[in-house]
Amino acid sequence: MPRPPAPEVKQVRAGGPPAALIGGVVVLVVALIAVLVWAATRGGGLDAEGSVSSLPEGGGVVVGPGVDADVPQVRLYEDFQCPWCGRLESSIGEALTDRAEAGEITMTYQIMSFLDGSLGNDSSVRAANAALCADDAGAFVPFHAAVFSDMGQEGQGYTDAQILGWAEGAGISGGDLETFQQCTADQTYADYVEAMQERANRDGVTGTPTLVVNGTTLSNEEMSQLMQDPSSLDAILEAHS
């Protein structure tokens, strides 16, 4: 069955003018670039089945104690071809997953795929599907990190060999690797990937990366701060807890 038309995508610069740092030294402040998704929600599809750690109705992949646990709930909307998502991952990605695996927070990864339409490929969907296949092998976190560490030039897309390499680098081997390869070849979770995008649309998300802590969407200024200063993570989480 052909996939529905990709949403129209527009790039804009978000936030105010570059910040001046202490002492009068002005540095280039990389403002969060919001990739706007002008998409009406597509009907149906939210009942698609996801991987072992996936929430129903396209609700994303959970790492940590769970969405009902009495810990800060952090939801990250991202696209595997979004360079600013990669910048956020390189800054605080490991810290977030460390806290989630330690039971201090629950991380929910809402993996979007709208950039396929803008970049003219299917790598966002394929990488998202592969991440879900990796989740079934117990390797979502290292696979997720591997994708963003090896993004390359925006728009060049991802090869099957790259995706397999990320899986091997994430520790998937033997029979699990064979199952992973079959899962990626069959695009087993393509419907759930679409459901995650639809759920993000319904949530009103208009850019990636978007980080939500206990129901509050972080401001562009807070996102820029996290990208520039990883040590600000604790204070920002505390401010919304």
| pLDDT of res. 155 | 74
CATH for 8-239 is 3.40.30.10
Taking only the tens place, the pLDDT of each residue in 59-85 is 999 999 999 999 999 999 999 999 999
**Cβ partners under 8 Å of residue 151, min gap 6:** 80, 81, 83, 86
Gap between the terminal Cα atoms of the chain: 44
pTM for the whole structure? 0.82
Residue keyed to tokens 């969407």: 217
| Contact present, 140 and 176 (Cβ < 8 Å) | no
| pLDDT of res. 37 | 39
| pLDDT of res. 153 | 76
Q: Is 13's pLDDT higher than 70?
A: no
Share of the chain above pLDDT 70, in %: 82
Phi, psi of 184 (to 5 degrees): -75, -40
* Cα separation, 238 vs 105, whole angstroms: 11
Exposed, middle or buried: residue 34 (CB in 10 Å: 0-12, 13-18, 19+)? buried
Q: Is 9's pLDDT higher than 50?
A: no
User: Beta strands 210-213 and 61-63: pairing type?
Assistant: unpaired
